Copies of this chain bind each other. A is one copy, B any other.
Amino acid sequence: MFEAKLANAGLLKKIVESIKDLVTDAPFDCSETSMSLQAMDSSHVAFVCLKLNARFFDTYRCDRPINLGLSLANMSKYLKQVSNDDTCMLKYDEKKSEQIGFIFDGRNSKETEWTLKLMNIDSVAWQIPNEEYSVVCEMPAAEFQKACKELTTFSDTMNIKATRTAITFTGKGDIGSSVVTYSPSSSTDDENDAISLEVKHPVNVNFSIKYMNQFTKATTLGDRVRLWLSNDAPGIVEYPIENNGFLKFHLAPQICDDDNLD
Contacts and interface: CB of A to CB of B under 8 A. Distances in A.
A92 to B, nearest CB: 14
A85 to B, nearest CB: 13
13 contacts: A74-B176, A78-B153, A81-B146, A82-B150, A108-B195, A109-B182, A109-B185, A110-B182, A113-B178, A114-B176, A115-B179, A117-B174, A117-B175
A117 B176 contact: yes
Contact of A108 (B78, B83, B179, B182): B182
8 cross-chain pairs, A with B, having the tightest CB-CB distances, nearest first: A116-B176, A109-B183, A78-B153, A81-B150, A109-B185, A81-B149, A113-B179, A112-B180
Interface residues of A, number: 42
Contact of A115 (B143, B150, B176): B176
Contact of A143 (B81, B108, B177, B184): B108
Contacts of A140: 108
Contacts of A152: 81
A87 interface: no
Given A77-B153, A81-B153, A153-B77, A177 B108 contact: no
B110 A143 contact: yes
A140 B106 CA distance: 14
B176 A109 contact: no
B146 A83 contact: yes
A140 B109 CA distance: 12
B78 A193 contact: no
A99 interface: yes
Contacts of A108: 140, 143, 182, 185, 188, 193, 195
B193 A112 contact: no
Contacts of A115: 176-179
Nearest to A172: B115
A53 to B, nearest CB: 27
A240 to B, nearest CB: 19
A191 interface: no
A195 B108 CA distance: 8
